[in-house]
Chains A and B, each alone.
Chain A
Amino acid sequence: MKQKIGVYICHCGANIADHIDVEKVKASVETYPGVFLARTTMFACSDSAQKEIEEDIRSNQLDAIVVASCSPKLHLQTFRNVAMRGGLNQYNYVQVNIREQGSWAHSDKPADATTKAIQLVKAGIARVAESKELEMLRINAANKVAVIGAGVAGLRAAVELADMGTEVFLIEKEHFIGGRVSQWGKLFTSDQTGEMIVKNLYKDVIKHPKVKLYTGTQVAAKSGSVGNYNLELKITPRFITEACIPNAFDKAIEVCPVEVDDEFNFGMNKRKAIYKNYASEFPHLPAIDIENCTKCGKCVEVCSNIDLDQEVRTETINVGSILISTGFDPYEPAEGEYGYKTIDNVITLQQFLRLIELSGSKLTYKGKEIKTVGYIYCVGSMQIKGDKKYCSRYCCTSAIHTANEVYDKYKVKSYHLNRGIRTYGKQELLYTQSSLNGDVYVEFDPKKEPVIIKNGKGAVINVIDLLTAKEELEIPVDLVVLVTGMVPRKGNTIGDILKVPIGRDKFFNEIHPKLRPVETVIDGVQIAGASQSPKNISESLKSSLAAASKAASLVSKGEIELEPTLAKIHKNICEWCGKCAAICPFGAITKTTIEGREVAQVNVANCKGCGMCLPVCPVDAIDLIGYTNREIESMIDALID
């Protein structure tokens, strides 16, 4: 039993203190058995507070500490380090969550939240009073990482990991790599095209002996845990054999009778069932989209390298860690939203970008030359209702950049109907350029959205200009371009398979946006790029580098430190019935003989600390380290007392 416990109750600025009376919590626990001192602190995790706790431990010879603050998911390690620096074993520290499970969950009932916090802190004290000094366990980890999604974030992460000596399985659902960026033309700030960026990354990936690329591949199932994940891959073939005769393929594409909407071009044209999205796409072989292929065999007649009998196959890979970089979808406006799909000349910015790529010396849409464009901003972003309350960050820049491009190429006149322009940083230069081009900016109130009316072969936009005495304007345009934001990928099954939490915006959620920005609560699973939140290309690449280094630091040492949570047999009580050995999923329990008595023993290397063996023992001879009868029962008592 610990006798000199230090207790710290954090305000977390206003996060806790606004709903919980922290002084009252302190007063209620300072006389609790074992407590030597209790203090409140504005930010327990701040440097100065950490130093004070350390100093307290040293000068008062504390034998255990409790910090009542946020979720242990965020700061358990922070305060364990504080304990160690102060000279305590890290397992003589207990974190009590009075923020997520206290002030925030019960902000509607502050008095009750305070009562609950007192009880939670008492339970923490009871638990730490029973705590023992322990050492971390070390497990072997495969120095291999699965990178899921081969867009720019995934490609960049794969190269980075491989350069650090980690083996990489780069897994792409589509038959071609490059993700969204390969769909964009000239980019700000370097004037490189999306194609060029993807090509450069692909060259690095393909020449790297440590990267194995899978296309047409999805993760179907997962088992195991950090250090030792098994992923079952489902690989859909391209239906084309490796040896390639380029002309024969062109011919095959020509004779294919199937035509479907071309998703790569956001439905701006059609493609065949055997296809390539653009000529220089990687990998170089075309692919057959088997869902739309009728197996008529016309292509096989002109090209012997097509094999319609190839089959879906599965393969299992073993990795130590997983990095998710599955990207985003552009928001698809609802039918009728600003005339989308109900008025002919209303398209999205993504469609417009593909239209520009597909156009020659004249910019035409549905047979009409485009001379004026009206952009409507924040479609599917910063919405007043629903999940999409966030700013998608890249769209203002992208729309203005596009307007500048079509001005240079086709002298198109642009109207930007916006809700405040967010071309931050260097992107501000684009805004200046667009103003010099004579573009017109009109700011509207989100509660009084612009209205689009069909007008012959064009459209008229009615909008109230917030900045010029709220005057109602009528703007005739040839094309309305909806500047749509980013949403999470549709049908992204990897999140479900790996159980990665999602946030309010439905993107994957990191543990902490500032402190642990690329890790998830699932041990060994990192997130990168726009799978996590709207990002532009350079932001995506930065996060992918962060995620790659996090994954590498986890697996590259070949071992991972884990909690010393292990089953412990009380040999004097055990009567060897074998029930625990039978239930243990890891075969960690065997029979041994001590002083002529047969008893159970735990193999420390195999025990994963699940505790499954605890309830089956008929004589209660098993304790789980860190979760002993004394610890749990004293917490139960303290919570109700």
Chain B
Amino acid sequence: MSETAKKTSAKVLVFSTEKISDPAIDLAGLLKLHYPPTVYVITVPCSSSVKPKWIMHAFEKGYDGVFIAADGSDCPFSETCTEKTSDIIAQTHILMKEKGMNPAKLKMAAICSVCAEPFVKHMNNFVEELSRN
């Protein structure tokens, strides 16, 4: 019983972008594609605006995972958005290692405005992975 309870309980904080990945996440709802209800979304303008300190704050508060839905090449602000978001991840991974945390708890993937299915897949896999650990 504790196994299954644990499996559904991993909490994930998603940083999503208002113009690009938010519509995909909304679309997933519209299409009634289910993902775990322990996934919470905070909207930001661009994925490269997420401060490592916010991510660390989330871990301190007890989130099991943080996922950054990056705009990829769709970013309306800059072509180098993905690169910059990766830098943020790399930087945060260092902070996480310093605290003895598993870097696999922080992930990013490009989610475009119509990527409802990929988003759902990412969430299902991520929550499952986190619940296993």
Q: Which one of A97, A104, A113, A522 contacts B32 once the chains associate, using CB atoms below 8 Å?
A: A104
State how many angstroms separate the Cβ of B112 from the closest Cβ of chain A. 6
Q: Tell whether, in the assembled complex, residue A624 and residue B113 are in contact, meaning their CB atoms are under 8 Å apart.
A: no
Within 8 A of B (CB), among A591-633: 608-612, 614-615, 620, 624, 627, 629, 632-633
A610-B78, A612-B77, A640-B11 known; A635+B42 contact, CB < 8 A: yes
Bound CA–CA A116/B29 (angstroms): 14
A248 at the interface (CB under 8 A from B): no
A23 at the interface (CB under 8 A from B): no
Question: C-beta contact mask, B17-48 vs A, less than 8 Å → 1, else 0?
Answer: 00110111111111111110110111011101
A583 at the interface (CB under 8 A from B): yes
Q: Which one of A112, A113, A636 contacts B42 once the chains associate, using CB atoms below 8 Å?
A: A636
Q: Which residues from A are CB-within-8-Å of B77? A: 585, 608, 610, 612
Chain A: interface residue count, which band? Answer: 35 or more
Bound CA–CA A608/B18 (angstroms): 14
A499-B20, A610-B49, A610-B77 known; A101+B26 contact, CB < 8 A: yes
Q: Tell whether, in the assembled complex, residue B13 and residue A639 are in contact, meaning their CB atoms are under 8 Å apart.
A: yes
Chain B residues bordering chain A, tally (CB within 8 A): 51
Closest to B84 in A: A612
Q: Which residues from A are CB-within-8-Å of B80? A: 585
Q: Which one of B30, B58, B74 contacts A104 once the chains associate, using CB atoms below 8 Å?
A: B30
Q: Tell whether, in the assembled complex, residue B78 and residue A585 are in contact, meaning their CB atoms are under 8 Å apart.
A: yes
Q: Tell whether, in the assembled complex, residue B41 and residue A620 are in contact, meaning their CB atoms are under 8 Å apart.
A: no
Q: Tell whether, in the assembled complex, residue B37 and residue A610 are in contact, meaning their CB atoms are under 8 Å apart.
A: no
Q: Which residues from A are CB-within-8-Å of B22? A: 71, 73
Within 8 A of B (CB), among A104-159: 104-109, 112-113, 115-116, 119-120, 123
A501-B114, A610-B45, A611-B44 known; A116+B78 contact, CB < 8 A: no
A521 at the interface (CB under 8 A from B): yes
Q: Which residues from A are CB-within-8-Å of B114? A: 499, 501-502
A501-B114, A627-B45 known; A105+B11 contact, CB < 8 A: no
Q: Which residues from A are CB-within-8-Å of B84? A: 583, 612
Closest to A633 in B: B57
A504 at the interface (CB under 8 A from B): yes
A523 at the interface (CB under 8 A from B): yes
Closest to B112 in A: A499
A73-B23, A104-B32 known; A611+B49 contact, CB < 8 A: yes
Q: Which B residues fall within an 8 A CB radius of A?
A: 8, 11, 13, 19-20, 22-35, 37-38, 40-42, 44-46, 48-54, 57-58, 61-63, 74, 76-78, 80-81, 84, 88, 91, 112-114
For the complex of A and B, the 9 pairs showing the least CB-CB separation, nearest first, are A611-B49, A100-B29, A112-B37, A104-B29, A610-B77, A100-B26, A105-B29, A585-B78, A610-B46
Q: Which A residues fall within an 8 A CB radius of B?
A: 71, 73, 97, 99-102, 104-109, 112-113, 115-116, 119-120, 123, 225, 499-502, 504, 521-523, 565, 583, 585, 608-612, 614-615, 620, 624, 627, 629, 632-633, 635-637, 639-640
13 residue pairs from A and B, CB less than 8 Å apart:
A71-B22, A100-B28, A108-B34, A112-B38, A521-B113, A522-B19, A522-B113, A585-B77, A610-B48, A615-B49, A632-B51, A632-B54, A636-B58
